[in-house]
Structures are given as C-alpha cells and as structure tokens.
Structure 1
C-alpha cells in the first residue's frame, strides 16, 4: 500500500527526463499552485506545491500517488483530489516535515483514507 501512496502511477506520464518544478498543479476542481520541489525517490516520491494566495502562501506536500496525469506540453500536473481534500491534509512545514518519517506516515494514512477522499483511497 505504501508504494501506491509514494509512487507515481504507471499511467501518470511521469518521466525521469522531465523536471516538473514550476509546473502548475490542478486539483479536480481548479488550480492549487505550482510545483516548488519534487522527489522521485523510490518509495518516497512527492511534489511540494506552493499554493500562493489560495491558502495564504502555504505549501502542501502531495504524495506521488495523488498524481493522475502529467501534461508536459501544458506544464501541468493533475491530481485526483479536490482543493478541500488537499487543504484538510495534515499541515506541512518544509523545515520540519520534508524528511520526517513520522509526517510521511501521517500523510500516507490521510491519503489512504477513503473517508477523507470521497471514498477513493489510494
């Protein structure tokens, strides 16, 4: 189950040749910001999204398993969650949580939760 949360789907279009930094990120109900950082580390892949004014300049960490599609031509990453679902995820602070296993476990539990995501767990 962990690989499903922290790994890109085979159908996402993720390629190691593409640096997604700066790509726009689209939730199912609209834009949430731009990719500020990413990791392709096996079993721990994610994107960090700078949300700008959407949630007052905060960043969110999204496990790679939330990415449904990457459009290189449009420079957009599509995730299969709503803005509200992303906003309700455990709060992310880069200095504390980026490489903190406990936070990754908490975030993975949240993203696996069918209740938290409209009955669509990862």
Structure 2
C-alpha cells in the first residue's frame, strides 16, 4: 500500500473526468477485461462512487467501486478504466440487500478493502 493517504471517495486528478459527464451506462474495464456497466454514479466531494452491474459475470451482482479506483474515462468510447483486476472486484465486500449504497458501514468496508490495492496514483 502507498504511503500516500488513501482517499477512496474522490475521483483522482488526471482521471480525465469532469462532473459534466454522466457516467451511468458506460462500460467498466478492469485491468484484465470488461466487468459490467455503471448503474449509478455520484459526484459528491468526499462521497463519490460507482455502482456497477456486473450482469452474468458474477451472477447479476452489483458492486460498489470508490471513485479513486477510476484511472480514466473515455467518453467517446463509453468506457471507464479502473486499476483493479476482475478477481479483486469479485472478492469485494458483499452488499447487503435492503441497504443503501451510501450506507457508511458498507462504504467503510469497501474503502478499506480497495485501499489495500492503492498504488498511490
């Protein structure tokens, strides 16, 4: 893990993304291939994330990705690139049905989980 402070809930500078773009519906690309489409995206300072519908890849599971894992966005190609593998995403903390994506307990678990993969970018 990086010695830099892990800030999971803000988009990185240099991710080629501005809040003027709606990310819902864009494809998400892990370092080793396609993982799904963005179902929901938030743009709140200190609270930004993507909810990704993985479809049949992991049996219809939706996953929460903190904004900081977004490496870049190609609006023309409709692709979002993240610095994670499919297995890293598949092994992320499970979302409890009936909860909300903004639930602080789940977000803390997700932030800690993905923080182990932070490369300080």
Matches of 1:91 and 1:53 in 2, distance apart? 16
- Equivalent in the alignment of 2:107: 104
Q: Which runs of 4+ in 1 moved over 3 A?
A: 119-122
Provide, for residues 52-109 of structure 1, a one-character-per-residue CA deviation record: whole Å limited to 9, x for no partner: 0000011001000000000011010000000000111101246314121111111111
Higher normalized helix content (fraction of residues): 1
Matches of 1:19 and 1:108 in 2, distance apart? 23
- Equivalent in the alignment of 1:24: 27
The answer as to whether partners of 1:39 and 1:46 remain within 8 angstroms in 2 is yes
2:39 is equivalent to residue 39 of structure 1: no
Which is bigger in relative contact order (C-alpha 8 A, separation at least 6)? 2
TM value normalised by structure 1: 0.89
C-alpha RMSD of matched pairs (Å): 1.7
The answer as to whether partners of 1:59 and 1:93 remain within 8 angstroms in 2 is no
Name whichever of 86-95 and 43-52 sits farther off: 86-95
Q: Structure 2: 5+ residue runs without aligned partners?
A: none
Alignment map for 1:1-122 (pairs within 5 Å): 1=5, 4-93=7-96, 95-113=98-116, 117=117, 120=119
- The size of the alignment, in residue pairs, is 117
